[in-house]
Amino acid sequence: MSVLDVNLEDRAALEVALPALMIVAGELAEKAGELLIFGKFDLTVAKYGLLTSLAHVGRPLSMTDLKESAMLPRSASHMTQMVDDLEARGLVRRLASPSDRRVWMIEITDAGRALLTAVDEQYAATMRSESTGYSTEDLRVTVEVLRRFIIEAAAEVGLDLGKMQHEPR
C-alpha cells in the first residue's frame, strides 16, 4: 500500500505516514522548485539555500558555517563546486579569513543579492498561484502542523534551527 493511501482513521498508520509524506513532499518540492522557479535562474535549491543563508546572516561565512547555516547535506567537494559556480557567476566571492589563512570565507555580492530578489519575486508569485486551490484554513493548519513537526524533530536529533536559514527572504 502506498503512503498516499493511508487510512485516515488509523492513528498508528498516520504516525508512520506523516514523516513518509514529508520526505515525499520534500523531494517533490525540490524537483518542482527547480523546474518552476530556480531553474529559470540557473540555480538549484541547494544553491538558492546557500545564497539565502549568506544574505540572511549578512556577513562572510566559512564553508563549514555555510554548510550548517544552509542546512545542506552535501559533501565538502560538492559545497566547493557550488561555491565555484556561484563565484564564477559573480554571485559570491571568497575572502581570506583574518584569523586562519587555511580558511576561505564566502560572502554574497550585490549581484547575488539582486538575483535573490528576482528569485524571491518569482517564488512568491509561483507559490501564490499554486496555493489558490487551498483555503486559508487549510494552509494555516498545514503550516502549523509542519512547523511543529519540524521543531520537534530538530530538537530530537539535536539540530539548532536558529542557525539554519532555508526559507525565502
Angle between helices 110-130 and 45-57 (to 10 degrees): 120
Closest CA to 122 of 52, 33, 31, 26: 33
CA atoms within 13 A on the CB side of 124: 7
Which sequence spans correspond to the domains of the chain? 9-160
CA dist., res. 159 & res. 34, Å (int): 26
For the entire predicted model, the pTM comes to 0.78
- Give me the phi and psi of 147, to 5 degrees please: -60, -45
Q: Take residue 146 and report the three cell numbers written for it.
A: 509542519
Cβ contact 88:67 at 8 Å: no
pLDDT in tens, the chain (169 residues): 687 889 999 999 998 998 899 889 888 988 988 899 999 999 998 899 899 989 988 899 988 888 777 666 656 678 889 999 999 999 999 999 888 888 899 999 999 999 999 999 999 999 999 999 999 999 999 999 888 988 888 888 887 776 554 454 4
Instruction: Tell which CATH architecture fits domain 9-160.
Output: Orthogonal Bundle (1.10)
